[in-house]
Structure 1
Amino acid sequence: MLTSRIDTRCLLSLVLFFILFSTALARAEISEKQQQETYQQLESFAAILSILQEHYVEEIDTKAVIEGAINGLLLSLDPHSSYLKPEHYREFQEETSGAFTGIGIEITLKDGVLTVIAPIEDTPAAKAGIKANDRIIKINDEFTKGKSPFDAVKLLRGPKGSEVTISIFREGWQELKEFTLVRDIIPLQSVRSYVIRPGLGYLRITNFQRNTTKEAREHLARLRQAEPLQGLILDLRNNPGGLLDQAVNVADLFLAEGLIVYTRGRNQDLNLTYEAHRDEKTESFYPLVVLVNEGSASAAEIVAGAVQDHHRGVIVGTKTFGKGSVQTIIPLADGAGLRMTTARYYTPNGRSIQATGIIPDIVVEASNGGNGSTESGSDEVMREENLENHFFNQGEAEATPTPEVAAEIQERLDQDNQLQAAYNILKSLVLFASFEEEPGKPVSR
């Protein structure tokens, strides 16, 4: 018959464990019956831990076992809640306030499998061709089944210049494919921009960090230096999200009033409402096109949802990832942290995008066809100039048309069919806006 003798180390661990749970129960607003049932389950846990310490084939690490139990508890709730060991908590803080060394992907658990939310632009993962919804089956020949996202992050990170091999499965593939990546410093900068042509700008936000709104304002000011903005493409593709307040502040740059997002949770203190307001720094309301794809998640979806619900701009691309929950980070006494899902967020029209995502106003699938053409054959397009004995132009036959955009920008448009579609839509919006302002007046193209 098994005995239940508990040694001093185990006793101290159990005392700490019971204190933590008893404190949580005392603070929670639950019934006496629920508390009683919880205490009974904790007694079962204590009994099992005692038996393991006494009779398991090898001596167990009590701290590691309890941490495993906490991780199991959180992972049984949802894929975004987790226990952050002190080193994991420090890494999490680095991701939003400083650079870190790794391969540059945001990951989550999807159907129990480690899944890429999005690669971060210009990082080893993005350059190697890692895509949103890729499933990471192995890291350095170690299977990822049963690992939390933070366990995986620990394996993926390492010194700059070192290598890590990940085995990926992608929908449509028949077998795993290995990617060997060289770790590099993942920069903090989250905003990039350039002028497509005078008056039309491009703004790219790769994720939402502590300085994102400040950077966005600075980039918008640069885009306006030559002449006022007549239209803007806001690119949120492969943006895995980030800080809620930064998403709200970025959306506020493009909205004058009304709801941006609101959250609802069990705790009334987490039922928050965020509204837009116009001030001296608010951008003028030029036509706006927002690019999204399956790698646009969380905070990126907040911005896209607010723009869409307010009819502020046109959403172009493919359906977004669909992460509509809010996580709160609670620091713990030993330097660890508790990442806990505390609320769902809703777009201004009351839509929850959890597991459904944002559906673009105009769906444009990404194409590998260079210029985004949907033609699968190689037949050339027949034009008047190809017809035998066609009339020649009687005007300036030797004149060469002025390029609409610089060669470098045109190359980007040719290689990115979604960006090309967004540009064409933006030009149409600008043209239509000019008709509304001065109907009947010729428009300069």
Structure 2
Amino acid sequence: MKLLRLVVPTVGAFAGGLFLGGLRAEATPAQQNPYEVVNQLGRVLVQVENHYVDPAPREKLVEGAIKGMVDALDPHSSYLPAEEWKQFQSDTEGKFGGVGIEVDGRNDKLIIIAPIEGSPAQRAGIKSGDQIVGVDGEDVLGQPLDKVVKRMRGAPGTKLKITVLREAKNARAHELKEEALDAGASPDAAPPERQGQTLSFELTREIIHVSAVLYRLLDGNVGYLRIKQFQERTHAELLAATAKMRQEVAAAGKGGTLQGILLDLRSNPGGLVDEATEIADEFLASGGIYSMRHRGQVIEDLKARSGGAFVDMPTVALVNEWSASASELLVGALQDNKRATVVGANTFGKGSVQSILPLPNGAGLKLTTARYYTPSGHAIQADGIHPDVVIEPGTRAPNEPAKVLRERDLPGHLPAEGPQGGNAPSRAPTTDAGLTSSPEDEVIGSRARDIPFDPSQSRDVVLRVGYQTLRTAMSQRSTLTK
């Protein structure tokens, strides 16, 4: 049986990533004679079944024992019951049964960011800015986002009723927010309450395919590519987006070409490692991508293949404290091979490998089995990628730094082994109270491609500095080639 090997960014917060691979079997004393431990577990099980105050289901006891055993290892090793294993597969495939809406849960409101193109929600007339207030006739105001999303997912062909509150001027919702921000309102402040109408939609669930890549052509020759996570076909999506941007440049009729790439990996939790390495290949003509070590021994050392879509193109990668796992692998490869300038905050620091072993009962075992390293040997685990241009997260209150939870803050995290620190930043860290990690607030992406946007004037300071850094690199290259 093959093991599914994966990189999972953080506890419970993100979907993991996987690729096929095997593990070497290494005999240890514990493996050679496990029966003494099993016998002890059996004796405890018998005592509980015989003497506990109420009858205790054996399956529940055994599952609890397994979970406790694996959870004791590190924050990312765990036992996945059958339902969690099914959800895990759905997340990594980038498809699920649902109605096709992206939902944001801020300020105790469930706001629809956008209906997915071609989805039941879009066909029914649900719009960006609608607030979900009911699901199947039940009020969901104040309920957690993940709980509501779980209720909206389900088997294809089943019915779902969604009730939304639509503001009277829904079409101008984004413009009104922009005006409020320009007037000095906090970016996290809720918009003023306005009279709206309540609408109900009867929808039929379908298999929903979630796009992992958002793109936009900036200033006629800069390609903005935001990768939300690495799932199946992310590499193909990125190439398709690039082809469309090149077509846009050609359609402009000025004889121009795509001159630079702004690669946005902020809040990318990771995902399928193969997809991340295929994208790295598009930027690298040669050099390493990553190495993997198990108990101090290198078990894989992946090198780039020659040729790719962006091998000679100036590139800037944007990261933040939630860029994790496979996104850190990609950024580390680009940085070590001097193929991209990295702008933003120090990344999450999730550099361990988990292997998934499917179990006969439909569950799965997720076990940490190795550590990842950048081509130069820098340990990602519990350290992360250090940007070339550091922009610290904005403050949440006057003189009070934002609290950022990273891998090294997790109880029981796997320690780093090997060199840490990465590259020294090219300039002193900058602290800015602007939007340092919220690209969703910017009018970028397929749903807003018709709205004029000037990245050099953006309130998103990481985007703004990244764009300026890229423009400088493009200008220097143009000077050298003249």
Task: Give the alignment's TM-score, normalised by structure 1.
Answer: 0.65
SS in 1 for 2:324: coil
Larger Rg: 1
SS in 1 for 2:453: helix
Q: Distance in 1 between matches of 2:90 and 2:274?
A: 17
- 1:411, CA displacement in angstroms? 7.0
Match of 1:241 in 2: 270
Match of 1:157, SS state, is helix
Instruction: State which drifts further: 93-102 or 194-203.
Output: 93-102
Q: Is the aligned partner of 1:275 residue 2:297?
A: no
Q: Deviations over 1:146-185 (max 9, x none)?
A: xxxxxx978972225789xxxxxxxxxxxxxxxxxxxx99
* Matched residue type, 2:277: V
Residues in 2 aligned to 1:240 and 1:305: alpha-carbon distance in whole angstroms: 15
Query: Matches of 2:147 and 2:58 in 1, distance apart?
Result: 22
1:436 corresponds in structure 2 to 480
- Contact 1:413–1:419, Cα closer than 8 Å, also in 2: no
* Alpha-carbon distance change, 128 to 249 in structure 1, aligned in 2, over 3 angstroms: farther
Q: Could you tell me how far apart the structure 2 residues matched to 1:423 and 1:351 are?
A: 27
Matched, 1:158 2:151: yes
1:216-365 alignment, distance < 5 Å: 216-225=238-247, 226=249, 227-266=256-295, 271-279=299-307, 281-365=308-392
Matches within 5 A, 1:84-95: 84-95=80-91
The alpha-carbon distance between structure 1 residues 310 and 329, as it changes in their structure 2 partners (threshold 3 A), is same
Report the AA paired with residue 43 of structure 2: A
Tell me how far 1:235 sits from its aligned partner.
0.1
What code does the residue aligned with 1:215 have? E
Q: Is the contact made by 1:101 and 1:157 (CA closer than 8 Å) also made in structure 2?
A: no
Report the Cα distance in structure 1 between the residues aligned to 2:242 and 2:43, rounded to whole angstroms: 62
What TM-score results when the alignment is normalised by the length of structure 2?
Answer: 0.60
Identity %: 39
Asked if 1:124 is matched to 2:97, the reply is no
Provide the rounded CA distance (Å) in 1 between the counterparts of 2:212 and 2:226. 8
Q: Name the counterpart of 2:234.
A: 212
Distance in 2, matches of 1:223 and 1:242, equals 25
> What is the total number of aligned residue pairs between the two structures?
323
Rate the CA distance shift 1:289–1:162 in 2: closer, same or farther, 3 A: same
Post-superposition offset of 1:98: 3.6
Which residue number corresponds to residue 409 of structure 1?
Answer: 453
Distance 1:416 1:277 in 2: 35
The one-letter amino acid of 2:361's match is D
Once the two structures are TM-superposed, the CA of residue 201 in structure 1 deviates from its matched residue by 1.3
Q: Name structure 1 gaps, 5 residues minimum.
A: 1-26, 105-120, 131-139, 145-151, 164-183, 377-404, 439-445
Contact (CA 8 Å) 2:456, 2:467: kept in 1 or not?
no
Aligned residue type for 1:157: K
1:51 paired to 2:47: yes
What displacement does 1:367 show?
4.5
- When residues 375 and 85 of structure 1 are mapped into structure 2, their CA distance, relative to the original with a 3 A threshold, is closer
User: Match for 1:30: what amino acid?
Assistant: T
Instruction: Extract unaligned runs of 5+ from structure 2.
Output: 1-24, 111-139, 154-160, 164-204, 250-255, 397-429, 435-448
Q: Is the 8 A contact 1:365 1:418 kept in 2?
A: no
Matches of 2:296 and 2:381, distance apart in 1: 19
| CA-to-aligned-CA distance 1:246-273 (integer Å, 9 cap, x gap) | 11111111111111011111497x8122
Higher relative contact order (CA 8 A, sep 6+): 2
| Alignment partner, residue 107 of structure 1 | none
Change (3 A) 1:92 1:374: closer
- SS, match of residue 353 in structure 2: strand
Classify 1:340/1:198 alpha carbon distance in 2 versus 1 (closer, same or farther; 3 Å): same
Could you say if the C-alpha distance between residues 127 and 215 of structure 1 is closer, same or farther in structure 2, counting changes exceeding 3 Å?
Answer: farther
* Change over 3 Å in CA distance of 1:126–1:424 after alignment to 2: farther
What do the CA deviations read for 1:72-111 (whole angstroms, capped 9, x no partner)?
1111111111112222111111101143479x9xxxxxxx
TM-align CA RMSD: 3.6
In the TM superposition, what is the alpha-carbon distance from 1:326 to its structure 2 partner?
Answer: 1.1
How many Å separate the matches in 1 of 2:53 and 2:433? 65
Paired residue secondary structure (1:263): strand
Partner amino acid for 1:304? V
* Paired amino acid for 1:216: L
How far is the alpha carbon of 1:122 from its aligned partner? 5.2
Which secondary structure state, in structure 2, belongs to the residue aligned with residue 351 of structure 1? coil
Does structure 1 retain, via aligned residues, the 8 Å contact 2:392–2:432? no
Q: Give the CA deviation at 1:410.
A: 1.9
CA distance in 1, matches of 2:329, 2:61: 38
Per-residue CA deviations over 1:393-436 (Å, capped at 9, x if unaligned) read xxxxxxxxxxxx99721279523111011111111101111111
Look up the match of 2:465: 421
* Cα distance in 1 for residues equivalent to 2:433 and 2:275: 41
